[in-house]
Amino acid sequence: MQKLFDEVNSLDKRCYEEFSLSEDILMEHAANGMCEYIQDNFEDKKSVLIVCGSGNNGADGIALARLLYSKYNVSLYLASKPKSDMAKLQYKRAKALGVKETNEVFEADIIVDSLFGTGLNKELKDDAIKLIDTLNEFESFKISCDIPSGVNNTGHVSTTAFYADLTLTMGALKTFLYTDNAKDYLGKVKVINLGVQRDVYEVNTTKFLLQKKDIRLPHRKQKNSHKGTYGHLNVFAGCKKGAGIIAAKAAFGFGTGLVSVVCHESLDLPYHIMQTHFLTKNCTAIAIGMGLGKYETAEVREILRNDIPKIIDADLFYDEIVIESFEKDVVLTPHPKEFVSLLKICNIADITIDELQADRFFYVEKFCKKYPKVVLLLKGANVIIAQDEYIYVNRYGSAVLSKGGSGDVLAGLVASLLAQNYTPLDAAISASLAHTLAAANYKKNNYSLIPSDLVEEVRKL
């Protein structure tokens, strides 16, 4: 996993004070990192249009123009005159070298966006919106310097933003790059070193970006074992019984030794999945909430109060009874609408879904501060997994998963790992990665996935 930071100004300042690196040196390394990427990936003499603003993000772009000069056909477009001291200095250097300026943007082989950077904290003006929209129409390979222009310093897009194929971000990864609102604009993300290696530049943090290698699959290393060695999961099926059955199938395919569906009505289940009317004595984990609908409160309350590790999903996020489980080993897996309800039930916030999506990390932190024992998995384009003060982001989510039943598969995967004695946090992380990576491996049209396809792809990981 990689470290995430809410801001990097303090990290830059540390470079100035502890390592005697100047702002100029850091900027030269930023520009050189972008230059190296272009040189490594594009042939000489390609046309490069660098679109610059008036601040230090624009200064990065101007410095890049100087470094690419003569090897590439570079054109510098200044959206506004340089205003920051570094922008003025870099412009003076570029002019002395003879870097070409243009009064109009055009479809170059490569377009570099150096308009606003991470300092954007206000609404875009009409001329900036028009400029960004024009750049987005071009078929060029598009690179953003630090962050796509139009994405602000909370990761929110209010009007429009630059659609980058690649974002070259400076020094370290920023948390706000991984909001749901920013996801469509980033393209791939690569970190540029600023005069020192990342492990020197970065400090301790409580936020992390998950990588594929962080998944811990439930491979069986113990030779002397039996089905009970790998747990017995109880999945509660409600009025929408299909949800519970999907979760049970996913759990069995992810390594649980025994899976029983708890339901008072007769079910048509696969032969390898059992049915019971009550919680089994050897149960090692519980999955409840998926398709639950109307339920007997006393029975559910008894389940939520017991000490067996459990995952809670869906319908229970609309009932304050869910709070009774928060002192136990529990994973919650709400989607945004359900999390908004949960925040209200818990007297944390009364907000809309749009308000949540505009500041997901803030509300996750508020929830986890009040309930530090709970593992929260907030679904979305970027999945947020959190416990206490620690936050982990799974960026591998995709539109492939935007189908009914995908969440039930996730519930089954988390429950499976809980049954196999994973900690709630480890279960949430590995199950979420398995869920998203399986979807990424799906080879058919991205609109066509059904839950059984997803379970099959998980089995292939």
Domains located in the chain, CATH noted: 2-204 (3.40.50.10260), 213-460 (3.40.1190.20)
Q: Cα dihedral sign for 302, 240, 401, 380? A: negative
pLDDT, position 92? 96
Residue 67 known to bind ligand: no
Q: What is the pLDDT of residues 363-395, one digit of tens each?
A: 999 999 999 999 999 999 999 999 999 999 999
Q: At residue 121, does pLDDT exceed 90?
A: no
Q: How far is CA 329 from CA 36, 165, 271, 324, 334, in A?
A: 48, 41, 30, 12, 16
Q: Please, are residues 330 and 259 in contact by the beta-carbon 8 Å criterion?
A: no
Residue 190 binned pLDDT confidence (cut-offs 50, 70, 90): very high
Residue 113 known to bind ligand: yes
What does the H/E/C string look like for 189-206? EEEECCCCCHHHHCCCCC
pLDDT, position 323? 95
Q: What is the pLDDT of residues 12-47, one digit of tens each?
A: 999 999 999 999 999 999 999 999 999 999 999 999
Which residues 6+ apart lie within 8 Å of 270 measured at CB? 249
Residue 121 known to bind ligand: yes
Residue 57 known to bind ligand: yes
**Nearest-angstrom CA–CA distance, 216 and 213:** 8
**Nearest-angstrom CA–CA distance, 372 and 366:** 10
Q: At residue 226, does pLDDT exceed 80?
A: yes
Residue % of the chain over a pLDDT of 90 = 91
Residue 120 known to bind ligand: yes
Q: What is the pLDDT of residues 65-107, one digit of tens each?
A: 999 999 999 999 999 999 999 999 999 999 999 999 999 999 9
Q: Please, are residues 14 and 195 in contact by the beta-carbon 8 Å criterion?
A: no
**Nearest-angstrom CA–CA distance, 383 and 454:** 17
For the chain, give the longest Cα–Cα distance.
Answer: 82
Residue 122 known to bind ligand: yes
Residue % of the chain over a pLDDT of 70 = 100
Q: Please, are residues 285 and 255 in contact by the beta-carbon 8 Å criterion?
A: no
Residue 23 known to bind ligand: no
pLDDT, position 299? 87
Residue 153 known to bind ligand: no
Q: Going along 97-231, which residue ranges are E strands?
A: 110-114, 141-145, 166-170, 173-174, 188-192, 207-209
Give me 87's structure tokens: 């922008």
How distant is the alpha carbon of residue 126 from its chain centre?
A: 30
Q: Going along 240-382, which residue ranges are E strands?
A: 258-262, 274-276, 285-288, 310-312, 330-332, 375-378
Q: How far is CA 16 from CA 55, 199, 290, 293, in A?
A: 19, 16, 53, 58
> Coil, strand, or helix at residue 458?
helix
Q: Please, are residues 115 and 51 in contact by the beta-carbon 8 Å criterion?
A: yes
Residue 227 known to bind ligand: no
pLDDT, position 76? 97
Which one-letter DSSP state was computed for residue 182? T
Count Cβ atoms below 10 Å from residue 164 Cβ, excluding itself: 26
Residue 74: enclosing H or E segment and its boundaries?
A: strand 73-78
Which residues 6+ apart lie within 8 Å of 282 measured at CB? 228, 232, 258
pLDDT, position 293? 83
Q: At residue 353, does pLDDT exceed 90?
A: yes
**Nearest-angstrom CA–CA distance, 3 and 135:** 32
pLDDT, position 131? 96
Residue 24 known to bind ligand: no
Residue 117 known to bind ligand: yes
- Please state, rounded to an integer, the average pLDDT across all residues of the chain: 95
pLDDT, position 117? 81
Q: What is the pLDDT of residues 392-443, one digit of tens each?
A: 999 999 999 999 999 999 999 999 999 999 999 999 999 999 999 999 999 9
**Owner of token pair 């570079």:** 74
Which residues 6+ apart lie within 8 Å of 114 measured at CB? 50, 51, 52, 53, 57, 58, 60, 61, 62, 64, 145
Residue 146 known to bind ligand: yes
pTM, two decimals, is 0.94
Q: At residue 6, does pLDDT exceed 80?
A: yes
Which residues 6+ apart lie within 8 Å of 50 measured at CB? 61, 62, 64, 65, 74, 75, 76, 77, 111, 112, 114
Q: What is the pLDDT of residues 129-167, one digit of tens each?
A: 999 999 999 999 999 999 999 998 888 888 899 999 999
How distant is the alpha carbon of residue 206 from its chain centre?
A: 15
Overall average pLDDT of the 323-347 stretch: 96
**Nearest-angstrom CA–CA distance, 185 and 200:** 29
Residue 426 known to bind ligand: no
Residue 119 known to bind ligand: yes
Residue 291 known to bind ligand: yes
